[in-house]
Amino acid sequence: MKTLISNLAKEGIYPSTSNEDEIKFNEGYESYEFYKALLDSVKERLYVFGRKNRKLFTKNNTKIKKLIDAGIDFKCLFLSEKSDERILNMAQENDNFKKDLTKVIEGVKQRYKDNLEHFRKYDFQQIKRIMIVDDAVIFVPVEFENSKVKHFTKSSFSIIPLESKKGMDLELEFKKVWDSSKEI
């Protein structure tokens, strides 16, 4: 967890408050700097419960491939482009969301065709974003505005220890979604 916090700071993303149970950040989530810090921190495991994960794959394809090749426990969840239209329409305030999501998933299928077991799709509306990086859990509750999910880019987020009660609950939630999701 210390490595992650340090790498976030190197990228200009600093905690706003901190206690032994939770470190809160007022901004920086899902920015390119956030993902750089995240990928620079991973030693054993990276689980991503996102929607289209575009920023994760835009500039970081080489790093992700190296992590997979190094044997890192990598799991990435996408919202299915075949989800109910109502869910897709709520997923983001973006008229091109379904098109963008499809493009990212197709890109992942092409680039990672030998490693597709690391990627799955779910088909329901998320209520929180979860990322697990080694011994840390990053989470963001989903907020709605005008019946659409508010943008996550550069928003606030929290980091908690994986071994905490809440951390273990979030890990279990991720695993349940992973186990019930479909391969891309």
> To 10 degrees, what angle do helices 32-41 and 61-69 make?
20
Q: For residues 12 and 68, what is the distance between their CA atoms, to the nearest angstrom? A: 27
Contact (CB, 8 A) for 65 and 92 = no
In this prediction, residue 116 carries a pLDDT of 96
Both structure tokens of 83:
């989800």
Q: Which CATH number fits domain 2-183: 3.30.870.10, 3.40.50.1100, 1.10.101.10, 3.10.180.10?
A: 3.30.870.10
Average confidence (pLDDT) over 74-103: 81
User: What confidence category does residue 76 fall into, taking pLDDT thresholds of 50, 70 and 90?
Assistant: very high
Give the pLDDT band (50/70/90) at residue 71. Answer: very high
Give the residues across from 47 on adjacent strands: 75, 132
